[in-house]
Structure 1
Amino acid sequence: MIQAVLFDLDGTLLDRDASVKKFIENQYERLGNYLGHISKEEYMTRFIELDCRGYVWKDKVYQQLVEEFEIVGIGWENLLGDYITEFKHHCVPFPNLKSMLEELKTDGLALGMITNGFGQFQMDNIRALGIENYFDAILVSETEGMKKPDPAIFKRALERLNKEPRESVFVGDHPENDVKASQYVGMKGIWKKDVQWDAFEPDYAVEDLGELPTMIRNLDLITKIGGVNR
């Protein structure tokens, strides 16, 4: 019987691509005195390229931007500080986020989250989405001293929820770090579809978060039938 659902954050609950575009456009406009010699399109496009969908930390991104665009009057440290303090004001949720979480809680499921990233930064984003209180356990890699796809962080999350892998589901957008890594520890993995990985063929996938409650009920039914057959 499925008793717990765990989630990734970026690209799964938080529409990071939309959030980054919203933030970087706002940063360009607010800091126009320093960035005005660059076109908005150039600045946004290059930031997104260097960011590599969050897999490159922003100190490297801003150092490169300052050098390439010959930005003066403001250092990369200040631009990074602006990112850290302001990004949370531009967080965009995927559609049906809260209604999906409410439905899962109504179904009596324990909810957890495992996200790679810096502790305070990720917690600020979670709070900005207004979803912290839905979760019974939230693990951020910096705080935990381990990160996905390390099996240990999945096991730690399950321990905090007091659930077994076989009765738990993990939902994430990354084929290796989320879906396969959770399956490795014995959980069921559900892929939140992402066009970047369109060649990935998982056992279970959703395009919209609103599909999850029904899918998980169906998985629960399959699990019960399997238990009877055994």
Structure 2
Amino acid sequence: MLKAVVFDLDGTLLNRDESLKIFIEQQYKRLSEWLLHIPKDKYIKRFIELDNRGYVWKDKVYKQLINEFGIEEITWEELLQDYLSYFKENCVPFSNLISMLEELKRNNIQIGMITNGKGQFQMDNIKALDINKYTDTILISEWEGIKKPDPKIFKAALEKLDVSAKESIFVGDHPEKDVKAAQSIGMKTIWKKGDQWGNVKADFIVDDLEEIPQIINQLNSEPY
């Protein structure tokens, strides 16, 4: 019997690619006094390239942008602070996020979250999506001192939810840090399909979050 669903955040619940595009365009407008010598499309394109889907922290990204574009009147620290302050205002959820979480709660399924990243930054994004009220536990790597794919962070989430690996399922978009890592401790897995990876060996694959409650219901109706 499945009692809990544990989610990744970026690329699973938060449409990070879309959020980032909106944020960087807004940043360019906000700071245009210092960035106007750079064509907007060029600034946006290069930021997204350097960001590498969030796997490069923004201090390095902004240092590189300042170098490449000869930005002189604003520092990388100020650009980074702008990111920390304003990204949360541009958070875009994937379709059917809230209705999916509400259905899980109606079915008495516990909800957990494990995300890599900076503690307050990720919590601000979670609150911006208005999903913290649905979660029973949230683990953010900076605050936990461990990050995915370390099995300890998955085990810590299950301990907080008071469920076993067999009573839970993990939903994520990364084949190694989410799917394989959760499988390594005996959790079932759902891969939230994305364009960047193919042939991911998860127990289930979904295109849309609305499919998740159906999977849980299906598993819980099977005889044990």
TM-score, scaled to structure 1: 0.96
Deviations 1:76-131 (A, max 9, x none): 01000000011000000000000000000000001000000000000000000001
Partner of 1:54: 54
1:68 aligns with 2:43: no
Q: How many residues align?
A: 224
Per-residue deviation at 1:202? 2.6
Per-residue deviation at 1:198? 2.2
Deviations 1:190-209 (A, max 9, x none): 00001100232433110000
Partner of 2:107: 107
Q: What is the SS of the residue equivalent to 1:195? A: coil
State the AA in 2 paired with 1:25.
E
Q: In 1, are the aligned partners of 2:191 and 2:200 still within 8 Å (CA)?
A: no
Identity %: 62
Q: Give the 4+ runs in structure 1 shifted more than 3 A.
A: none
Per-residue deviation at 1:72? 1.3
Structure 2 matches for 1:191-206, cutoff 5 A? 191-206=191-206
Structure 2 matches for 1:76-115, cutoff 5 A? 76-115=76-115
State the AA in 2 paired with 1:46.
R
State the AA in 1 paired with 2:194.
D
CA distance in 2, matches of 1:152, 1:173: 19
Per-residue deviation at 1:65? 0.2
Please tell me the root mean square deviation across aligned C-alpha atoms, in Å.
Answer: 0.7
CA distance in 1, matches of 2:201, 2:154: 22
Structure having the higher helix fraction is 1
Q: Where does the alignment leave 5 or more consecutive residues of structure 2 unmatched?
A: none
Q: What is the SS of the residue equivalent to 1:92? A: coil
Q: In 1, are the aligned partners of 2:137 and 2:161 still within 8 Å (CA)?
A: yes
